[in-house]
Amino acid sequence: MSAPATSREEAIQAALATVDDPEIRRPITDLGMVKSFTIDEDGLVRVELLLTVSGCPLRDKLNNDITSAVSAVPGVSGVLVDFGVMSKEQRQDLQTRLRGGGGAEPVIPFAEPGSRTRVYAIASGKGGVGKSSVTVNLAAALAARGLSVGVVDADIYGHSVPRMLGAAGKPTRVEDMIMPPESHGVKVISIGMFTAQNAAVVWRGPMLHRALQQFLADVYWGDLDVLLLDLPPGTGDVAISLAQLLPNAEILVVTTPQTAAAEVAERAGAISLQTHQRLVGVVENMSWLELPTGERMEIFGSGGGQVVAEKLSRTLGAEVPLLGQIPLDTRVREAGDAGLPIVLAEPTAPAAQAITAVADRLAVRRESLVGKPLGLKPAGR
């Protein structure tokens, strides 16, 4: 005996509710994407789905996911998905819904008092110390632990994160909101996704500030556990803008063991004195090269990371730990060029294990105090 029509329709509705939009990671039924569905006497279900934009690159995935979910309902003999496109009004309604129903003006969610997202700004005093490699590998390691992770490639002039993270997709726009591509479970945005091929970016301070602001406010990040920002080297415009836009961001300094690199890294860390941001620690990259004999060759010297941590501790008057030492390994470079971070490509490699150990120390979600009792009682009379 076939199931009653009403209960079958309810089962189909429930099945559709299990299908998430691949970009927004919310059920398509909650997003207003299911315009309607019908089921004929032979059990063929026809679903009319509204895409946010025409030519959606994830159309095939949506078709497969809907077909798989609805086909599992008893009495369904087949599934056909008809695709349409949201109207401007429907996209505006979706945008308002995703932004929590507030005003039309975008805000930076990570700067809101109730934000539970840990924000780490990965900084260095100079270029060439492997800051971007550390960023993408930390992001991949954190995502592999099941955390929701985003990366902002804030190195506007020297953007390299998309290639190193294997993020070949392009952002999708829903009105004035941007859906970031995802790779290896990490959402990522970079100016390189908006420029033609390998074009140079020639901007001054105000434009850099606006770009960073848009990356933080106009991009729909969802509910992130961790947001990493790959900063440009030094203490210039972007570092200053970051302090203004995300005063709660924590700074992680990357250096090499080399004395010259350590000195400039110390300057990059000391900026937290002026911006009043927390310095979470120091990572020493390219610490040594392990030879086939098992010996360590210290190509860039030794001790730079520890020196930076100790000097910053004295300067700031608070402990700044050396979070880890990452050995030099050609596989880090090869994995980055291939778009597959070494923590995923070669998780047992010493460099991957060192990065994963740092990620373990950073993988703590900030607890919101909104709505929580603090156990405070008025003093007795």
Residue 286 in domain: yes
pLDDT given for residue 236 in this prediction: 66
CA distance 121 to 160: 16
148 and 82 within one domain:
no
Residue 16 in domain: yes
126 and 72 within one domain:
no
CA distance 319 to 317: 7
Write down the pTM of the prediction: 0.78
pLDDT given for residue 376 in this prediction: 43
Residue 102 in domain: no
DSSP tag of 40:
-
Structure tokens at 252: 């992680």
251 and 282 within one domain:
yes
Domain end marker among 45, 61, 92: 92
DSSP tag of 110:
G
pLDDT given for residue 370 in this prediction: 42
357 and 215 within one domain:
yes
pLDDT given for residue 257 in this prediction: 92
169 and 23 within one domain:
no
Detail the residues annotated as belonging to a binding site for ATP: 125-132
42 and 156 within one domain:
no
Residue 371 in domain: no
177 and 64 within one domain:
no
229 and 293 within one domain:
yes
pLDDT given for residue 363 in this prediction: 87
Residue 205 in domain: yes
Q: Is 9 exposed, middle or buried (0-12, 13-18, 19+ CB in 10 A)?
A: middle
CA distance 351 to 343: 8
Residue 240 in domain: yes
Detail the residues annotated as belonging to a binding site: 125-132
Compute φ and ψ for 20, nearest 5 degrees: -95, 145
For 154, the 3-state DSSP assignment is coil
229 and 310 within one domain:
yes
pLDDT given for residue 114 in this prediction: 84
82 and 124 within one domain:
no
Q: How many domains, the chain? A: 2
For 62, the 3-state DSSP assignment is helix
Closest CA to 322 of 285, 374, 272: 285
Q: What CATH number is given to the structural domain containing 13? A: 3.30.300.130
125 and 73 within one domain:
no
358 and 220 within one domain:
yes
| Greatest alpha-carbon span in the chain | 80
Residue 372 in domain: no
Q: What CATH number is given to the structural domain containing 257? A: 3.40.50.300
Residue 145 in domain: yes
Domain that holds residue 31: 5-92
Q: What is the mean pLDDT of each run of 10 residues along the chain (381 residues)?
A: 69 93 85 91 92 80 93 93 89 78 70 90 87 96 95 85 90 83 93 70 65 88 93 77 87 89 78 80 93 89 90 88 95 94 96 96 62 44 37
CA distance 166 to 338: 7
